Structure 1
């Protein structure tokens, strides 16, 4: 049966001694080293004479983050399995630890009496995690899933509305004759009946007839209403 070599990285001397004693009592574990800072951990890991199977690390270290130690260990010792024991129980630190390569996360408030047992569980294929932290991560995941579902529903609704608007615009495109559309554009730009008649080379009476037809088709009674309704129906671009 293999004996797993454990590197402990913990700045609290009492906790470090507690973990070291637990490892020392277990026949299947061997204490490779016990250090209290990122710098010490990196120096130990950099030494080619050293080998490690399990990294037991805190996150809040005096000269940096245990995340750096995890990444460094995984890069130099790919077979090493990191286990975090930290006071940080928020989702961001948990997820960051997992992304860095941690296979387990134990909150210090729920540290087991025998950390060696937790280490052996991890080496046997488990991913130990404190119930409190597991609940928080699950809540975060469910919240993200809910937000994603709402976003997808909103995008679907927007797509449906876009298709409906395009279909309505297509249907409205044949509502006015070409001459009526031209008169409508000129009305929207503020031209008078006389100016429209000159631009279209028709009589003022003809312009009035086109406008009367416009009002009837758009169900309005004034120029401003005609411009507003036509813009709403997609027959006319908004004029600033």
Structure 2
């Protein structure tokens, strides 16, 4: 696995190197210490996993996350930071982060998070979970519009009630499997279809829910009551 690291603190740079150096299947392809270097490297490097800090000396790591998601849509993105407030957590997830770890985690937790991302999961530090739940609840309340009530002319559970409900039964099935932690390849095997077909479904899901990552898709589908 090729790792791309965006971290300005020399201590944590060395800590990350120490965590992965004993793993022959891991290789750091770039180590950037600020936003500018990170944005430049996103355009030139090939990687499978990005480890990014949010607090960079010349800006926010969220900008690197967005750039990576556009340039490398299949790469995993692990946020490793001291910022555990709700605003940064939610912003990072919406930008495209697929995992979130606070820096005080143990080396074992770091390794487990990286392995989890590699396996197609979305590791979230327990300290972060409450912020995500709060954001889900807040967004759920904001989406509760009067037009969705049972008295609404369109309130029959039809496919056109709301944008997310236009998902096909197969797209819902794909989302349910992704929410359980399956990778797209595993979803294809489970549904007995080709990986290309599941990728096509994923693109349709992302477009309809107006998201760009698995985590965002599951988040939005959960809020909308689709899964």
Give the TM-score band, short-chain normalised.
0.5 to 0.7
Q: What secondary structure does 1:46 align onto?
A: helix
Map of 1:71-150 to 2, 5 A cutoff?
A: 71-109=66-104, 111-114=105-108, 115-146=110-141
Structure (1 or 2) with the larger CA radius of gyration? 1
Q: Which residue of 2 aligns with 1:24?
A: 21
1:34 aligned onto 2:31: yes
Q: TM-score, normalised by structure 1?
A: 0.56
Q: Give the superposed CA RMSD.
A: 2.2
What is the CA-CA distance between 1:31 and the residue it aligns to? 1.1
Q: TM-score, normalised by structure 2?
A: 0.59
Q: What secondary structure does 1:79 align onto?
A: coil
Displacement over 4 Å in runs of 4+: 146-149
What is the CA-CA distance between 1:20 and the residue it aligns to? 1.4
Q: Take 1:139 and 1:75, find their aligned partners in 2: how far apart are those partners?
A: 27
- Structure 2: tracts of 5 or more residues without a match: 153-227
Q: What secondary structure does 1:16 align onto?
A: helix
* Cα pair 2:34 2:57 within 8 Å, conserved: yes
What is the CA-CA distance between 1:144 and the residue it aligns to? 4.2
* Cα pair 2:89 2:131 within 8 Å, conserved: no
* Cα pair 1:26 1:116 within 8 Å, conserved: no
What is the CA-CA distance between 1:55 and the residue it aligns to? 0.4
Q: Which residue of 1 aligns with 2:189?
A: none
Question: How many corresponding residue pairs?
Answer: 149
Q: Which residue of 2 aligns with 1:180?
A: none
Q: Take 2:116 and 2:133, find their aligned partners in 1: how far apart are those partners?
A: 22
